[in-house]
Amino acid sequence: MSLSCTRCGGSGFLNADQLPEHLDHADTDEILTWLSEYHRERNDSCCTCHINPPCGYCVSENDVEICDCCGDGEDWYGMPGEHYGPDDPQGPDGPYSSNGGLCKCH
């Protein structure tokens, strides 16, 4: 049985409450696509990002990010928002090896 991540409330994303309403029931790929487009648009509309990105304007608009307990920004550690599932490798070779084999919210 998997446990829900307490850092992100099981969503796989920190500050998921800041997501637009149309993404309330979206899967992680949809949210990642939106997040990428959102950051690109913010950078395109800012006057100083071409000098020293990201500027304060871009950073302050949204704090949604991949939960560092559920993934590293490139790959998910098992199912986003869930830990210790039957498919998660355990021990020193598992996804939580950097934290002694336990997820960060354990």
* pLDDT, tens digit, 9 for 90 and up, residues 31-89: 999 988 887 777 666 666 667 666 666 565 678 899 999 988 788 888 899 998 877 77
Q: Establish if 105 belongs to a structural domain.
A: no
The answer to whether position 18 is within a domain reads: yes
Q: Is residue 17 part of a domain?
A: yes
Instruction: Indicate the number of domains in the chain.
Output: 1
pLDDT of amino acid 55: 63
35 neighbors 64 (Cβ within 8 angstroms): yes
Position 39 in a domain: yes
What is the model's pLDDT at position 32?
A: 92
Which residues form the domain of 59?
Answer: 3-99
Residue 106 is assigned to a structural domain of this protein: no
The verdict on residue 8 lying in a domain is yes
Contact criterion met (CB below 8 Å) for 29 and 76? no
- Span between the terminal Cα atoms of the chain, in Å: 15
